[in-house]
Structure 1
């Protein structure tokens, strides 16, 4: 009897954990993660090309952003990218940023 209860409880916990991981992100969250990943990749590309942080900031000022929060977010992502000693390729940065962002958004739910 006790082993049956333990088996049922473990199956129940496993199904709850699976449901928590399978939750979908909102479209806005996916867009934000994708946009941030692209921004980080672009910043890494500029950094590896030898463009100074000042010049990268100036370049960001010329971009037209569709949402008010994007400019400051892009500045923060660019500064963090330049502060990092990483020399990883921009595509790897894009992938890692996107995966971490999605993981963060799911964990917040």
Structure 2
């Protein structure tokens, strides 16, 4: 049953990606979605490895970010990831986050 759910999620993500690619997305938005997806995937890796939220926050604080908005965004994404009961693999979390972010950005236009 679990494999069926994962397969359905993957198919939904794949079909949604092709629809989203048909519309224009700014390079900055694409970068933000990609960066956020990577952050969510890393947070999921830490969560599945048994690292506490406190330790994950400490790792974020030690990391040097390129842009000023990234640190707080990384904190928020990490907290949301830890609050979620999801046990999906990090690659699935990355794909899901990216798809939802692109969908959100396109809906705002």
Give TM class, smaller chain.
0.7 to 0.9
After the TM superposition, which segments of 4 or more aligned residues of structure 1 sit over 2 Å from their partners?
none
Match of 1:63 in 2: 63
Match of 1:40 in 2: 40
Does the residue aligned with 1:29 lie in a helix, a strand or coil?
helix
Q: How far apart in 1 are the matches of 2:22 and 2:79?
A: 33
Structure 2 residue ranges without an equivalent (≥5): 1-20
Match of 1:96 in 2: 96
Root-mean-square deviation (CA, aligned residues, Å) is 1.4
Q: How far apart in 1 are the matches of 2:95 and 2:22?
A: 20
Which of structures 1 and 2 has the bigger CA Rg? 1
When the two structures are superposed, what TM-score results if normalisation uses the length of structure 1? 0.80
When the two structures are superposed, what TM-score results if normalisation uses the length of structure 2? 0.80
Match of 1:105 in 2: 105
Report the alpha carbon displacement of residue 23 of structure 1 after superposing the two structures with TM.
Answer: 2.5
